[in-house]
Structure 1
Amino acid sequence: MADNRAPEDPSVLYLQKTHMSSKVSSETVDDIVKVKRSDNLIWKLYTDNYIHNRVLAYLDDIGFYGVLKCGSQVFDNHLITALVERWRRETHTFHFTCGEATVTLHDVSIIWGLRIDGQVVTRIHVSHTVEEWQYICLDLLGFVPSSKHLKGGHLSMTALHDHCMSNLVSDDTSEVDVMKYTRCVALMIIGGITFPDYQGGSARLIFLQLLRDIDNVKSYNWDSAVLAFLYRELCNATRIEKTTMAGPLYILQQIWAWSRIKCLNPDRDGLTLVVPLIDPDAIILVSPYGAR
């Protein structure tokens, strides 16, 4: 539980009155920040081996396969709440009794294997009608989602999952259709794992603009975008009225917290490396740290 005493010097940590730690007491110690999840359908595709090797090869080339290799996690809401209580919006760092710490670009890069340099990932604010989004989906994803699956520029993960399951890639699938399938899977990764938001169960279609040219996707600095999004969600979660949280919390929880805060590290005696550093039979030859 965070120390709910006000900072001795409010000139830096001046947002204490609106920070969630200000309401922590013996009566509220069991209140938790609940994680908003949208990733269950992408893990069903991946863990049940419905994603063909041709698609995995594309995902590896654009830099997203490492995210899948890290696997699904069960979120510890109490651990995340404790970290949020220690996060400060003013400094973008966790304030522990031993000092300050934060998630860095280097952490994100080695955990998920995302590119740390390149073009900036930006969002172009566009306003499309449902019919226009349906046309864009047909062009880039290979199907027309029904209007009930489109809401405010979001496409439901159910629509993406159902399309992928009914149009599985094979050795005979055309290269154009493989690329469209890859965009579907990449959009599910973006909406469910790397950039999940409060909508829950959907992905932002504005990311499709970055997936249009498959060969160009790898040129973007996804690492910085993920870190900025994590910082934003941590800052939002510290607000006293917040009870839920979204964002790329895979990085924050087990992988970063277990690695950096040694007292949280589970007992690994007797455990062996599940994913080897070099697997000659795998599509991706070097697994990111989060998968190891």
Structure 2
Amino acid sequence: MTDNRSPEDPSVLYLQATHMSSNVSSSTVDDIVKVRRSDNLIWKLFTDNYVHNRVIAYLNHMGFYGVLECGSQVYDNHLITALVERWRRETHTFHFTCGEATITLEDVSIIWGLPIDGEAVTGVDVSNKVEEWQHICLDMLGFLPASKYLKGGHLSMTALYDHCMSNLVTDDTSEVDVVKFTCCIALMIIGGIMLPDYQGGSARLIFLQLLRDIDTVKSYSWGSAVLAFLYRELCNASRIEKTTIAGPLYILQIWAWSRIKCVNPDPDLDGLTLGLPPVDPDAFIPISLYGARWKIEFSYTYSPTHSIRIIRDSLDRMNNNEFNWVVYQKNDIDVKTITDSYDNKI
């Protein structure tokens, strides 16, 4: 690499002319790629304890609760930008001075606990009329959204949030209504955290096809879909004209914190020593997910957060010992519990 970001040999990395790293100059050195996120209303529902345990049990049954268990964090746009600059569309890897690396299915499975085997997450993206989508929502979600909340097969997160707040689940709620409420939450998780797109603040209704039978939701390879979606968004964002990025970037941020020592928010913490309570097999949710280890308040005292220049320089200087190539120890009790549990469920 001539400047640690541009390739010496263009025969392999042949897309450099359209890659954002070719545009780093004195006038653009501080430019960052901003994360578009759609998950604020989801976290509001959970942080304010509006979601009943009956719903959480169904979410766990569907395989989505691990995403919520990892919690919400502030995105470091500067760190994300530095990673995008080193992402190559030709190889789907980050090119560091110490070698190539990428986030894998194992990372997705262990960090978020999503299944990585099973049926593909796919479907027919039909062009329904607004009235048709309204009736589908009434059938599966339990309410008929106003037409202003529907656009191009997307449903506003605000409509989902308002419906949930007006129809909170209690001990007396019928099982049918609990399932429909859970589908609302699941759609918000998919569209706001796992597979958020550039629409921002909305969820794609195509995913309702996969939520119709709540007992088969966990049979889909959601982890594969998340990884493929992340790769696609990284590829799009690495183009020279892009200034924003969408996708499941929180899982990428956890991956970076776990593996790259110079961007870790606290040098005294690493992915193997962050404390969690021991796994209790009799607990309501028995799985302590790896990603939940990062659900703590960071001081960022030692981290180069919010400084793209410092992060770039740190990655330029990074040697092989500063990248954690083997994060997950299979004999680690939490990781073993996660992998065994999900292997048995699929």
Q: TM-score, normalised by structure 2?
A: 0.81
How far did 1:123 drift?
2.9
Deviation per residue, 1:260-280 (Å, 9 max, x gap): 112212226499856424146
Separation of aligned partners in 1, 2:118 and 2:238: 31
- Indicate the RMSD between aligned Cα atoms, in angstroms: 1.7
How far did 1:5 drift?
6.2
- Residue identity matched to 2:258: S
SS in 2 for 1:163: helix
Separation of aligned partners in 1, 2:93 and 2:145: 41
Separation of aligned partners in 2, 1:105 and 1:61: 21
What number of residue pairs does the alignment pair up?
290
Is it true that 1:203 corresponds to 2:203 in the alignment?
yes
Residue 276 (structure 1) aligns with: 277
Residue 287 (structure 1) aligns with: 288
Residue 265 (structure 1) aligns with: 264
Please give the residue correspondences for 1:207-246 in structure 2 after superposition, counting only pairs within 5 Å. Answer: 207-246=207-246
- Residue identity matched to 1:225: A
Residue 3 (structure 2) aligns with: 3
Residue 89 (structure 1) aligns with: 89
Residue 22 (structure 1) aligns with: 22
Bigger shift: residues 189-198 or 263-272: 263-272
Residue 75 (structure 1) aligns with: 75
Question: Is the contact between residue 64 and residue 114 of structure 1 (CA under 8 Å) also seen in structure 2?
Answer: yes
How far did 1:284 drift?
1.2
Question: Is the contact between residue 4 and residue 23 of structure 1 (CA under 8 Å) also seen in structure 2?
Answer: no
Separation of aligned partners in 1, 2:3 and 2:188: 38
Question: Is the contact between residue 41 and residue 158 of structure 1 (CA under 8 Å) also seen in structure 2?
Answer: yes
- Residue identity matched to 1:266: P
Residue 139 (structure 2) aligns with: 139
Structure 1: gaps of 5 or more residues: none
Deviation per residue, 1:67-121 (Å, 9 max, x gap): 0000011000000000000000000000001110000000000000000100110
Is it true that 1:111 corresponds to 2:111 in the alignment?
yes
Taking a change above 3 Å as real, the CA distance of residues 282 and 275 of structure 1, as seen in their structure-2 partners, is farther
Taking a change above 3 Å as real, the CA distance of residues 21 and 208 of structure 1, as seen in their structure-2 partners, is same
Separation of aligned partners in 2, 1:89 and 1:203: 26
Taking a change above 3 Å as real, the CA distance of residues 275 and 51 of structure 1, as seen in their structure-2 partners, is farther
Question: Is the contact between residue 277 and residue 286 of structure 1 (CA under 8 Å) also seen in structure 2?
Answer: no
How far did 1:125 drift?
1.8
- Residue identity matched to 1:286: I
How far did 1:127 drift?
1.2
Question: Is the contact between residue 196 and residue 203 of structure 2 (CA under 8 Å) also seen in structure 1?
Answer: yes
Separation of aligned partners in 1, 2:256 and 2:113: 18
How far did 1:247 drift?
0.2
Separation of aligned partners in 2, 1:4 and 1:25: 14
SS in 2 for 1:155: strand
How far did 1:6 drift?
3.9
Identity %: 81
Residue 255 (structure 2) aligns with: 256
Once superposed, which parts of structure 1, at least 4 consecutive aligned residues long, lie more than 6 Å away?
A: none
Taking a change above 3 Å as real, the CA distance of residues 223 and 12 of structure 1, as seen in their structure-2 partners, is same
